[in-house]
Amino acid sequence: MKALLLVDIQNGFCPGGNLAVPEGDEIVTLANQLIGSGKYDLIVASQDWHPADHGSFASSHPGKNPFEIGTLGGKPQMLWPDHCVQGTRDAELHPELRTAEIDLILQKGEDRSIDSYSAFRDNAQDAHTGLAEFLKEREITELDICGLATDYCVRFTALDAVELMPSVKVRFIEDASRGITPDGVEAAITEMRAEGIEIITSEEALAG
């Protein structure tokens, strides 16, 4: 059984959003082709879903600016602009994404005391979202992952997928993803490849 995991394809990570990823919106057409391809038995989308006072926001740290390093829960934390606040337009999935065909929309990042890049568990690798169990129950053996942002949420989601479901074949669809910085994307791809994740194009994904 094969699943597609669409990571954080939200207004907040697209141009005009609060934490815009360059060209983030350009993946929506490819994501829709993957959704409609008939290649997947199951389609899951994750959604960054923060309370307004989330601890990853620079605005929660007096004197700090976005993209500076602060601390959260005693650990270094990249401080972000306020983004994907629950119930706002910024947090909505991109309006052109074919959401009717998505089987599960999984929200993450609700706990203000910790960030959660991965769709599987928080950054302390502590609280699990239940996604691994959900995929195991549905006997998923192959998982294709794409979305935003390659260097943060996609990266940690893919690495957790191989760690938590060692028997599942995990692939990262590079052209259906975008990152915040080119260096971050390069490091993410190197790390994913080193962990056995196959780096593929959407053309390869659509071909099988």
Residues with a catalytic annotation lie at: 8, 108, 153
Q: Coil, strand or helix: which one is 126?
A: coil
Site string for ligand VGL, 105-134 (x = CB under 6 A): ------------x-----------------
Six-digit token pair at 116?
A: 């959660």
Of 31, 153, 170, 205, the one binding ligand VGL (CB under 6 A) is 153
Contacts (CB under 6 A) with ligand VGL, residues 8-27: 8, 13
Binding residues for ligand VGL, how many (CB under 6 A)? 9
Q: Coil, strand or helix: which one is 97?
A: coil
- The answer to whether 97 contacts ligand VGL (rule: CB under 6 A) is no
Residues 208, 193 contacting (CB under 8 angstroms): no
What is d(CA 98, CA 35) in angstroms, rounded to the nearest whole number? Answer: 7
Q: Coil, strand or helix: which one is 134?
A: helix
What is d(CA 154, CA 157) in angstroms, rounded to the nearest whole number? Answer: 5
- The answer to whether 90 contacts ligand VGL (rule: CB under 6 A) is no
Cβ of residue 168: shortest distance to Zn ion, in angstroms? 25
Interacting residue ranges for ligand VGL, rule: CB under 6 A: 8, 13, 48, 80, 117, 148-149, 152-153
